[in-house]
Amino acid sequence: MYAHKNILDTISLILCHIFIFGPKFNQTDFPTMYYSLAQRQLDPLDRDILEALTRDARTPFSQLAQELRVSNSLIHQRVRKLKEAGILKDAAFRLDPDALGYESCAYTQIMLTNAKFLKSVVEALAHIPEVVECVNIAGRYAVMVKVYAVNNNHLREVVYEKIQPIEGVEGTNTVVVFETPFRRNVPLSREPASR
C-alpha cells in the first residue's frame, strides 16, 4: 500500500515534466532531476514514525510497532532507510544551557571582508566552544552564529576576543536572546498522516 503511492507520485512527476517540456524531455535526465525528490517523499507510515520519534527519541521500536500496528522489523527497516536518506539523524539528548549555568544566549551576525574568507571563518568559528550553531545567510552579513555564555561579560569576551579577531571578519552585530518560548522540528507535511 505505501510503496504503491510512491510509484504513482513518481509517475505523476514524469508525466508533468513531459507535459511541460514536451519533446525536449530527455528521459535520461529524469533520475538526476528528480531522484532526491522521489527519495524524500514520505508515506504516512514514515510520517507517523518520524512524529513519534521526534516527540520521544527513546521510544522503543517494539512500542512504536505496536502503536502503529506494524511489525518490529518494518519499523527497523523504515528507520534505517530514513537514516540512510539523511532525513532522520541519530538521537541525542539536548542539554539545558540554563541548568548548566549559561545565562546569556545571543545570535551574532558576522560580516566578511571578502566572500573568499567564508570557509576559513566558519572553520575558525567551529573551534570556539561557546558557538553552538553556525549558518551561512543572505544579505549584508554572511554568517550568523548562536552563542551561549555564562553571563554578558563572558558573551562580550566571546564576541570581541574570539570572533572579531578572526581573519576575514569585518564586523559583527549581536542580538541578545531574552528567552526561547518554544523550539520545534520542521513540519513533516501539510496533510495529517492517516491510515
The b/e string for 26-57 (b: 16+ C-beta within 10 A; e otherwise) is eeeebeeeeeeebeeebbbbbbbbbebbeeee
CATH number, position 116 = 3.30.70.920
17 and 59 belong to one structural domain: yes
* Tens-place pLDDT, residues 78-117: 999 999 888 888 777 788 999 999 999 999 999 999 999 9
187 found inside a domain:
no
Looking at the predicted structure, is the pLDDT value of residue 155 above 50?
A: yes
Q: Which domain holds residue 21?
A: 2-84
35-49, 81-95, 98-112, 145-159: segment of lowest average pLDDT? 35-49
189 found inside a domain:
no
What is the CB neighbour count within 10 angstroms for residue 68?
Answer: 17
**Domain total of the chain:** 2
126 and 78 belong to one structural domain: no
53 and 124 belong to one structural domain: no
